[in-house]
Amino acid sequence: MKICIDTNIFAAIINKEPHADFCKKIISEIERGKITGIISPIAVAEILVGMYRNKDFHAARRFKAHIESIFSIIKVDLGVAEKAARLRAEKDIKLPDAIIISTSESAKAEFLITEDEQMIKINPLKITSAEIFVTKHL
């Protein structure tokens, strides 16, 4: 199974949010090779912002190395950009979210895991929360 991970899945783990255990379970399954994880460089950039703001360069290096070791990082090419533009125009969502959804679609991920309700509403069959994904698919 191939899944795409949104920024807020990592943020939940970092910030120890209530649904962090579900997020950790998904990342663990990717680490173990049970699930193929893909990610947009936009999601990586969004997480790194907090680390750089806190001047935690060591954490940023560790995070980047970890991401590179377990995820396929899907480049934002012209096709992803065009899909994102159309999605943003049609659904009035933020550009980073549109790029992450378009990345997921371009990479043919079966699911996009996010905690963003607005993103889930776009396609609830393919875009789901960590808790629902773990409960139904793991």
pLDDT, tens only, 15-62 = 999 999 999 999 999 999 999 999 999 999 999 999 999 999 999 999
**Does the pTM of the predicted model rise above 0.85?**
yes
Q: How far apart are CA 29 and CA 21, in angstroms?
A: 12
pLDDT(8) > 90: yes
Strand partners, 71: 37
Give me the residue label for tokens 């920024």.
7
Q: What is the pLDDT of residue 127?
A: 93
DSSP structural state of residue 113: E
Residues in the chain: 138
Task: Say what the pLDDT of residue 6 is.
Answer: 97
pLDDT of residue 124: 86
pLDDT digits (tens, 9 = 90+) for 69-108: 999 999 999 999 999 999 999 999 999 999 999 999 999 9
- Tell me, what amino acid is at 36? T
**What pLDDT does 129 receive?**
97
Q: What is the C-alpha separation between 6 and 14, in angstroms, rounded?
A: 14
Main-chain dihedrals φ then ψ at residue 113, nearest 5 degrees: -100, 125
Full set of structural domains in the chain with CATH: 2-75+109-137 (3.40.50.1010)
